[in-house]
Structure 1
């Protein structure tokens, strides 16, 4: 039985709203993509195209259809050249640099663009939607450089690579390799699509790159909040912390809902009320005692972040907007990615604080001055070889380095607007840079979380070995986590290189390998 097929999630593009979770299913390659062929939907899509065709052929002036682009909007294009204009647009924007987006990120970008175009306000043919859906269905995904967008007028340069691939040009990911689009299209018998007036602009003049990344960032941050709570519970056991710091009566007087959710999770993990563990300290250091307050900021941000991201995802965000029903061309600035820029600048700040929290917990755990009787650097070595072994000493240094880099990335990108393109784009969002920064902060924080989980688990194991903690006294949730980590990691007794273990844990975190609390994995 092919379980991979059974696990695929249907995602239907029919002009209705999609969710962050559905874009993430597309990104992870576990979506079964369908484009609606409902007659009413197809007719609505095509009404905009028919209106546009009549208008420009009657010598109506339409930005980007009968004029040049950007500051060149005052340049009129002769009627016999109008149909060549889309190819020029994606061609001269073929100047992206830097690393390319991963295939997962590029799938999310294509999914976000198709979601917007399927709203029916962009003046594109149903055949163009079919071509984009076909790319997702056959997993022929544009290779997109990361650098070159200021986030208004949309993600022009990154999305030019989507437009070019639709037309059979540039390069694609196919079966894990980068190949020439024309070669793959020929192999799969995909017909390149010659873009019609407005279609190049409709693909490129929007926020799909930053929005696709934002959907992925949201999902990763959501999981990190839960993982940070579970790690904190394990840290409290390893450090013999005061479990009553997470009591519901305490948090009732400061009713931030996300913060209180984190406190409840940690409180329940620690079995308070059944077999409470008392600490020699009346108050633990802040990185334990204030963990719900730190993680809670990110947790409380998730609802409004979801609103910002999903509103942008389900918007028509190019220019001009084509109202085929009422036959209006509406010139505006919906390509401006300010909401995503603000969301990503905010999220990277909240996530970097998770890295900082876990890094401080790690520092306590490794230091004999603060770890309440555990061996230095959590070495599991005993006897005469103990002085020779250094345990997690270098991992603690590494976690500090990853945290410092994450914190450095929190400078808001959105405040660095640059005037570009002959001062036509004189106020821009920087949303794609903010989203890329956020992805980097997430990667670094996941690395810190991997180290923290390994070290917290080691600390608990050392307490169990010393008889200071009984496995039966752990809550079922913590017992399950201890056993799950043991499936992927062996107790560190003699020094060994831990790079492979760390990389594996980062991968497991990104795959949401450990089921944590009863909350649904929304993203």
Structure 2
């Protein structure tokens, strides 16, 4: 990512991109820029020229002069070759379900552009320019989220990108769904007529699942840190034993991510020679084992990110066009197995954060376990305490969100189906895995939003009742209390907390809380 004054840019030139850069494009925090270097342009156009040459000389190229998939034995007459791309995206126009969000759609376009920039897809430079232009102007195809089995790539979702480039179907335009042809007219754009291999190159890849996966790893990275901070707040509110996070303790079980999480929590807490409740040497597992739970996610993020970024920076369509070596190579790079595995694993690790924080919240609101805090963390005093119920309903809702997140961890990759006349007889289900992961992340963010409010309320109650002084808190926790207090009010009298929870989820999305990086 390059910073040009106040504008950050992500450059597409075939060099490796990161998930973080894709996320920046998706969140409109950076602008996509396509390399205009002569060498890059020539390398891209060389693939298209080689394909044209082979077609003119030999007359037979899969997906150019033949049908697709199981129909590859069907020869297409020369006069109909140029109509084949339109037929490909037309018959794949059967997507269902809610459209991908704007962020998800930008990530999908970025992932497809990154793959085509590798120079092995046999497309023209002008096609890359058009995809980049759609990103720059935020002219986004309306892409239904359901209908991909993740091999032969994301055919149905990506057909909506191919169709839009030729001026068909719908775009998101200034917050509205509009016909692509109308939007092009308003924007002064001409539809781009796809060359014979170009619809196949656009569609026969893993861009939908990979774009979602880039967003997922970035969301999960923040949630790991947020769960650690919530644990610190809950440990203070519940008068926990801070020595559960001692570096010496974790030196004998050296999982790096687990050690990092323990270090974060340890640095948040002020050690005392004896815990305030000296009769309780060991806290319940949801406090004591928090680094072990969060650490699984933290340690997984390394390989998951590697899987995702390798896929992002790959040529993942079929056939592969090697202009320099004069080869057309038929294979199965559209298979999304690595993304499927990464997303199936990530959603399980992330869902465990919800389970952890759910248990921390349950401790904090229950006077049998919260070591002297008011029932349900209500701030009401005197007679009003009898009619106020604080976070009671929030704890119930958190259990519902947690249960749904845990239910969503069923691995999608084990549900391969034989499709397309048994040509696609083993498929990845990577896109379903990535969509499932996005849903699990959404639910976990709701749980952690509640966890932040509960942890903050618990510490505020200790401060209010003089059981704790601000000087007893490390600067990181004082900063967290201050940041939270700028957006939320102490729960004195019962109020509907829906707005507070939505605001807390928005804070998570914008990475509002200063954490450990």
Structure 2 SS opposite 1:495: coil
Paired with 2:59 and 2:287, the residues of 1 have a C-alpha distance of 66
* 2:18 alignment counterpart: 19
CA RMSD, Structure 1 to Structure 2 (Å): 1.3
What are the Cα deviations for residues 331-373 of structure 1, in whole angstroms up to 9, with x where unaligned?
0000000000000000000000000000000000011110001
Paired with 2:415 and 2:421, the residues of 1 have a C-alpha distance of 18
* 2:416 alignment counterpart: 417
Classify 1:312/1:277 alpha carbon distance in 2 versus 1 (closer, same or farther; 3 Å): farther
The residue correspondences of 1:217-236 to structure 2 (distance < 5 A) are: 217-236=216-235
* 1:142 alignment counterpart: 141
What are the Cα deviations for residues 41-94 of structure 1, in whole angstroms up to 9, with x where unaligned?
111101111111111122432111111011001101111111110010001000
The answer to whether 1:152 aligns with 2:154 is no
Structure 2 SS opposite 1:58: helix
Deviation of 1:9 (Å): 1.5
Classify 1:119/1:275 alpha carbon distance in 2 versus 1 (closer, same or farther; 3 Å): farther
Conserved? CA contact 2:13–2:34, under 8 Å:
yes
The answer to whether 1:100 aligns with 2:99 is yes
* 1:511 alignment counterpart: 510
The residue correspondences of 1:387-426 to structure 2 (distance < 5 A) are: 387-426=386-425
* 2:205 alignment counterpart: 206
TM-score by length of 2: 0.98
* 1:382 alignment counterpart: 381
Q: Which moved more, 1:118-127 or 1:507-516?
A: 507-516
Classify 1:279/1:77 alpha carbon distance in 2 versus 1 (closer, same or farther; 3 Å): farther
The answer to whether 1:175 aligns with 2:189 is no
Paired with 1:301 and 1:360, the residues of 2 have a C-alpha distance of 22
Paired with 2:225 and 2:302, the residues of 1 have a C-alpha distance of 15
Structure 1 SS opposite 2:171: strand
Paired with 1:141 and 1:52, the residues of 2 have a C-alpha distance of 29
* 2:431 alignment counterpart: 432
* 1:486 alignment counterpart: 485
Paired with 1:209 and 1:132, the residues of 2 have a C-alpha distance of 14
What are the Cα deviations for residues 303-331 of structure 1, in whole angstroms up to 9, with x where unaligned?
11111000000000000000011111000
* 1:441 alignment counterpart: 440
Conserved? CA contact 2:85–2:199, under 8 Å:
yes
Classify 1:68/1:472 alpha carbon distance in 2 versus 1 (closer, same or farther; 3 Å): same
Deviation of 1:278 (Å): 5.3
Paired with 1:30 and 1:160, the residues of 2 have a C-alpha distance of 27
* 1:495 alignment counterpart: 494
Classify 1:279/1:266 alpha carbon distance in 2 versus 1 (closer, same or farther; 3 Å): farther
Paired with 1:165 and 1:112, the residues of 2 have a C-alpha distance of 17
Deviation of 1:37 (Å): 1.1
Deviation of 1:277 (Å): 5.1
* 2:215 alignment counterpart: 216
Equivalent pairs, count: 515
Paired with 2:277 and 2:187, the residues of 1 have a C-alpha distance of 66
* 1:166 alignment counterpart: 165
Paired with 1:8 and 1:20, the residues of 2 have a C-alpha distance of 19
* 1:366 alignment counterpart: 365
Conserved? CA contact 2:240–2:275, under 8 Å:
no
Paired with 1:273 and 1:61, the residues of 2 have a C-alpha distance of 77
Paired with 2:272 and 2:319, the residues of 1 have a C-alpha distance of 62
Deviation of 1:135 (Å): 0.3
Classify 1:111/1:79 alpha carbon distance in 2 versus 1 (closer, same or farther; 3 Å): same
* 1:267 alignment counterpart: 266
